[in-house]
Amino acid sequence: MLTSRLQAQARPQKESSNPPAHSHPLPARPAQDPILRLQRTIGNQAVLRLMRAQNPEVGLVWPQQGSQAASATVQRSPGPESDQPEKTKQSPKASPSPGNQVCSGPKLGATKLTADSTIDKKVAGVIDDVMARAAACGTLKTYITAKGDLAQGHLKVIEHYQGNDMVGSTHAEDRFDADDFHQAVKKYLQETEPDFPTDEEKQRQKIAEIGGFYDRKRDTINLPSDAKLGSALHEAVHRTSKPVFKNYFGQFLNEGVTQMFSDMILQDESLSAFTGHNYGENLKVANRLKDDKMKGNWKPIAEIYFNGDIHKPWEIMASIGLNRAMHKEQEILDAIKK
Ligand SMILES: [Zn+2]
In whole angstroms, what is the distance from residue 338 CA to residue 332 CA? Answer: 10
* Res 105: pLDDT: 87
Provide the mean pLDDT of the chain: 79
CA of 176 to the centre of ligand 1 (A): 23
CA of 234 to the centre of ligand 1 (A): 6
List, as one string, the DSSP characters of 284-309. Answer: HHHHHIIIIISTT--HHHHHHHTT--
E-strand spans in 93-219?
Answer: 155-158, 213-215
- Identify which has the larger pLDDT, 287 or 95: 287
Domain boundaries, the chain: 2-11+32-337
Q: Which among 191, 164, 162, 190 has a CA at the least distance from the CA of 177?
A: 164
* Res 70: pLDDT: 32
CA of 258 to the centre of ligand 1 (A): 6
Predicted confidence (pLDDT) per residue in 54-68, tens digit = 344 554 444 333 333
- Cβ distance 76 to 51 under 8 Å? no
- Cβ distance 54 to 16 under 8 Å? yes
CA of 170 to the centre of ligand 1 (A): 31
In whole angstroms, what is the distance from residue 328 CA to residue 248 CA? Answer: 9
- Identify which has the larger pLDDT, 253 or 326: 253
CA of 326 to the centre of ligand 1 (A): 22
Q: Give the confidence band of 99 by pLDDT, cuts at 50, 70, 90.
A: low
CA of 69 to the centre of ligand 1 (A): 10
Given a cut of 90, whether residue 84 has pLDDT beyond it is no
In whole angstroms, what is the distance from residue 26 CA to residue 213 CA? Answer: 22
In whole angstroms, what is the distance from residue 125 CA to residue 148 CA? Answer: 8
Given a cut of 90, whether residue 327 has pLDDT beyond it is yes
**What average pLDDT does the segment 84-105 reach?**
56
CA of 334 to the centre of ligand 1 (A): 21
CA of 240 to the centre of ligand 1 (A): 12
For 271-282, b/e burial (b = at least 16 CB within 10 A) is beebebbbbebb
CA of 210 to the centre of ligand 1 (A): 10
CA of 249 to the centre of ligand 1 (A): 14
Backbone phi and psi for residue 179, each to the nearest 5 degrees, phi listed first: -65, 130
* Res 85: pLDDT: 37
In whole angstroms, what is the distance from residue 323 CA to residue 214 CA? Answer: 33
**What average pLDDT does the segment 114-134 reach?**
97
Q: Which among 93, 77, 212 has a CA at the least distance from the CA of 146?
A: 93
In whole angstroms, what is the distance from residue 137 CA to residue 183 CA? Answer: 39
Task: Report the first-to-last Cα separation within the chain, whole angstroms.
Answer: 20
Contacts of 185 (CB under 8 A, 6+ apart): 207, 210, 213, 222
The amino acid that residue 163 corresponds to is G
In whole angstroms, what is the distance from residue 298 CA to residue 264 CA? Answer: 11
Find the angle CA(121)-CA(243)-CA(279) to the nearest 5 degrees.
60
Length in residues, the chain: 338
- Cβ distance 229 to 111 under 8 Å? no
Q: Which among 25, 8, 19 has a CA at the least distance from the CA of 246?
A: 25
CA of 209 to the centre of ligand 1 (A): 12
- Cβ distance 1 to 67 under 8 Å? yes
CA of 235 to the centre of ligand 1 (A): 6
CA of 212 to the centre of ligand 1 (A): 8
* Res 40: pLDDT: 53
CA of 238 to the centre of ligand 1 (A): 7
CA of 66 to the centre of ligand 1 (A): 16
- Identify which has the larger pLDDT, 182 or 6: 182
Predicted confidence (pLDDT) per residue in 238-262, tens digit = 999 999 999 999 999 999 999 999 9
Backbone phi and psi for residue 62, each to the nearest 5 degrees, phi listed first: -60, 130
In whole angstroms, what is the distance from residue 82 CA to residue 89 CA? Answer: 11
CA of 244 to the centre of ligand 1 (A): 15
**What average pLDDT does the segment 92-97 reach?**
49
pTM of the model: 0.73
